[in-house]
Amino acid sequence: MARWKKNGGSYWWRNNNGITMTANGEKDAGQPMLGWTEDQEDDYYLRPGLRFALAREKKQDRCLAILTFVAFFMLVVIGTCIIVLTTRHYVKPCTVCDSVESAMNLSVDPCQDFYEYTCGNWVANVKVPEGYSKWGTFGEVYSRNNDLLLKLLAEEGYEYNGNHSEALRKAKNYYHACMNVTAIEEAGSAPLKQLLNQLGGWSILPRNTPGIVDWDETSFDLTRDLTSIHLKDGSPLFDMGIAPDEKNSSVGIIQFVQDGIGFNAIELYSDNVTTHEEAYAALGAKVVLLLSLADDESVVLENITSHSSYAPALERMRNIVEFEANISKIYMPKNLVRDPSKTYTKVTVKEFADIIPQINMTYYLNEMFATAISPDRKILVPTFSYFVKLNDLLKQTDKRTLADYLTWNAVKPTLRFLPKIYEDIILKYSSVFSGSNTTVPLWQKCLQRTDNTFTFVTGALFVREVVTPQLKNETQDLIHYIQDAFIGNLPNVTWMDDATKEAAEEKAYAIKPKIGFPDWIEDTVQLDAYFKDINITATSVFQNAMNVGHYSLLYLRDLLDKPVDKNEWHMGPSEVNAYYSATFNEIVFPSGILQAPFYDVSRPMSMNFGGIGMVMGHELTHGFDNHGREFDKDGNLRDWWGNASAVAYKNKTDCMVDQYSSYKIGDKHVDGVFTLGENIADNGGLKLAYQAYQQWRETFNDTMGLLSGLGMSQDQLFFVGFSQVWCSYATPQSAEMSILTDTHTAEKFRVNGAVSNMPVFSDVFNCPSGTPMNPKKKCEVW
């Protein structure tokens, strides 16, 4: 049952499953309305009037006339309601047609290249904002969210929901300190020099560097110096934290993982191309030079490399890069690290300490947690072999290189909080990787940093403006359609045995959706309590960065020996993203992504299912991808698969590995193994969204037919809606880096790869067999 009703300035439609869809604006605002047109409105009032006029002519039987009129009136009303309730008409002008069609390259055959067909004109005409090497639909939504956040942060006062909020005050002060260019320039390098003094100087600096104590080689202690930097939120050599025990996900456990290199892609250290390594060394050398300048000495960016102190600093930085390259050689391969069953390694603190005696792990842990950590405590070391080899590398490396490297890891994260000349050398360095020679405006940088640090404060402001109870209800109902589609499809998964199917069904039912935002952020008391341990000044962006690092340390310590809070969110409310957590067995959709073009009541439901519906299906399918399938319904790493089903699954995924490995960006192939989990999720998500839409359409007898203005069927619009949320542009450098670092395949192949595996797509677009979008060999896992 569904109906439109006028409610103030909005139209809303409610069905018996709880979906409420709003279309803002007056009825004549050009919004496509469900089951309501001007013509229908006129007809509704005209016909009873005519019937009543005829009745008046029959004065000899007024009572009968009245009864006849009432009966006829009721029939008209009932008939009209039946039409309205079972049919969706888009007779009013199509408000989305222009934006949809303007993105398309209609000269391209959709059976040859569906991504180019749906996004070709968007890519050709996109205006990439300054500072971005990649831009797409996600970026456009993110930009709109930022505009709103900026407006909200600019409002005077610190009141939230009628109460004074200290958390809001801290967030605003953090933003204003970041924007205070005068204070940043006046402080110069002094804040960084103060940090270096706290660390005992920097071995790479010349002796008698103004404002910095000289490093003393005789006092160098690897464990102590390493720990000092980790206490300040650095992660040289490795990273340590507390996360759910994968085999007992309700319990948090200390974990150590490999870390400490400057490049996100270890391949860059061994690709026989020195461009990236030289740019990295030059970045560090320029920082050393700026720190070395006398108080009365200045230098412009263009002349840095000609300064007499630059060449010696460059050589020392090259030694650091070489050491990092040696670290990268002992890294566990990225495709192996992503396999939890092969990396789950639980040992005691003593057993771990015994394999890496070059570092006193007992001292390290006691300092990090400010309490004595028992040598018998169990910890997880997923990259165990790395630490075995790291011990040998540390023995072979001289003290000065280790000292240079450690302090460089403390310096790097602080550079963005220093004067503009430091920002300029960062841009020079990053452009080698990104292909972009511009930077985003300062307000955007500061807003992003504020959102990252105070994500639940900015999120609280954001959701107050954009989220309604109806939106959460609508989204919840869409998720139910997706879950039902997955469960309904299981009988068709012929390669899986019945017992494994039953376990898969139980897991699918157990997946917990989180939508919009955590409710507690609407409570000022709880919001303030969450950020009570973070100290923020309105005058120093650098000190604020140090304080945030200390807050992270306090947060880590607070997790020790606490049960895992499975109500915790790991993404901010305004973020344009979504995720699946294997140890929580949950799918999470922040408010930031619940907007056009992912979801919009002014768009046909076919496009909404193709947009947010596919995202929902994608995240749910992650629970059954090559990583998620290893976790059970309670979020524990456990083999619940029958042997034959596991073998069949591997065969199915091998097809997908081969398919995506055949795609190329420039002269490099996509890594089909590295991207496998995302590719399974893309394919499964699209299939689930289509099946869910068909069920929704059947439930509501959706006979919309062709959408006025586009001449496309609703099934065609479903696929167009899916593809257009992935319209994207990237510089060649950015695209090349994505192949090495991003587990997602490039957007073009995310679209074409998924639709080419769906027979129904070929039916909808009449693609002949053997065309690129209808290959004879198709891959399907779920």
At 668 the three-state DSSP class reads strand
34-48, 52-66, 328-342, 711-725: least confidently modelled range? 34-48
Q: The whole model's pTM is what?
A: 0.85
- pLDDT per position as a tens digit, 124-169: 999 999 999 999 999 999 999 999 999 999 999 999 999 999 999 9
> Are 84 and 108 members of one domain?
no
With respect to residue 780, please indicate whether it lies within any of the assigned structural domains: no
- State whether 138 and 82 are in the same domain: no
CA distance 540 to 275: 35
Active-site residue, selected from the candidate residues 682, 736, 742, 747: 682
Q: For position 701, what pLDDT does the model report?
A: 57
Res 82 pLDDT > 60 = no
| Contacts of residue 217, Cβ cutoff 8 Å, sequence gap at least 6 | 203, 399, 400, 403
Cα separation, 284 vs 266, in Å, equals 19
| Residue that is last in its domain, among 366, 401, 418 | 418
pLDDT score at 294 = 80
Q: Give the count of domains, the chain.
A: 3
Residues 602 and 464 in one domain: yes
| 247 within some domain | yes
What pLDDT, on a 0 to 100 scale, did the predictor assign at position 25?
A: 31
The residue annotated as part of the active site, out of 116, 245, 619, 715, is 619
Q: Is the peptide bond before 382 cis (omega within 30 degrees of 0)?
A: no
Q: Give pLDDT, residue 629.
A: 97
In the numeric block, which tokens belong to residue 619?
């995240």
Host domain of residue 78: 58-88
- The helix/strand/coil state of 759 is helix
Q: Which of 94-103, 191-200, 657-666 comes out lowest in average pLDDT?
A: 94-103
Q: Mind listing the pLDDT tens digit for each residue in 290-331?
A: 999 887 677 877 888 888 889 999 999 999 999 999 999 999
Range scoring the smallest mean pLDDT among 34-38, 175-179, 233-237, 434-438: 34-38
Banded pLDDT at 469 (limits 50, 70, 90)? confident
Query: Any residues with CB less than 8 A from the CB of 613 and at least 6 apart, and which?
Result: 478, 481, 482, 688, 689, 692, 693
In a domain, 546, yes or no: yes
At how many degrees (to 10) do helices 614-622 and 676-699 cross? 130
Cα end-to-end distance, the chain, whole Å: 32
Do 617 and 690 belong together in one domain?
Answer: yes
Q: Tokens 């257009």, residue?
A: 724
Domain closes at, from 418, 435, 465: 418
Residue 682 known to be catalytic: yes
**DSSP tag of 105:** -
Same domain, yes or no: 382 and 488: no
214: domain CATH number is 1.10.1380.10
Of residues 624 and 51, more confidence is placed in 624
8 falls within a domain: no
pLDDT band at 42 (very low <50, low <70, confident <90, very high): very low
- Rounded Cα distance between 322 and 281, Å, is 10
CA 595 to chain centre: 15
Mark whether 339 and 467 lie in a shared domain: no
Q: Please check whether residues 368 and 409 belong to one and the same domain.
A: yes
Task: Check residue 453 and give its pLDDT.
Answer: 96
User: What's the average model confidence in pLDDT over 4-26?
Assistant: 25
Question: Closest Cα to residue 367, out of 221, 244, 531?
Answer: 221
In this prediction, residue 79 carries a pLDDT of: 52
Question: Of 19-33, 40-54, 638-652, which has the strongest mean pLDDT?
Answer: 638-652
Least confident segment among 106-120, 460-474, 692-706: 692-706
In the chain, the amino acid numbered 253 is: I
Give the β-pairing of 512-516 and 378-380: unpaired
Highest mean pLDDT among 37-41, 198-202, 600-604: 198-202
Tokens for 476, please give them: 């919840």
Burial annotation 248-282 (CB, 10 A radius, 16+ → b, else e) = ebeebbbbbbbbbbbbebbebbeeeeeebbebbbb
691, part of any domain: yes
Structural domain includes residue 397: yes
Tell me if 285 is assigned to some domain: yes
- pLDDT of 702 reads 53
**Percentage of the chain modeled with pLDDT above 90:** 79
Q: Of the ranges 1-15, 159-173, 220-234, 383-397, which one carries the lowest mean pLDDT score?
A: 1-15
Q: Do 234 and 379 fall within a single domain?
A: yes
Please tell me the distance from the alpha carbon of residue 176 to that of residue 180, in angstroms, as a whole number: 6
C-alpha 233/C-alpha 409 separation (Å) is 10
Question: Which of 383, 418, 453 lies at the terminal end of a domain, its last residue?
Answer: 418
Question: What gap in Å lies between CA 194 and CA 200, rounded to an integer?
Answer: 10
Are 393 and 458 members of one domain?
no
Statement to judge: residues 449 and 323 lie in one domain: no
Residue 339 annotated as catalytic: no
Q: Is residue 497 domain-resident? A: yes
At 74, the pLDDT band (50, 70, 90 cuts) reads low
Supply the CATH number for residue 508's domain: 3.40.390.10
CA-wise closest residue to 185 among 493, 363, 423, 436: 423
Domain shared by 133 and 84, yes or no:
no
**Per-residue pLDDT, 26:** 30
508 plus 388 within the same structural domain: no
State residue 760's pLDDT score. 98
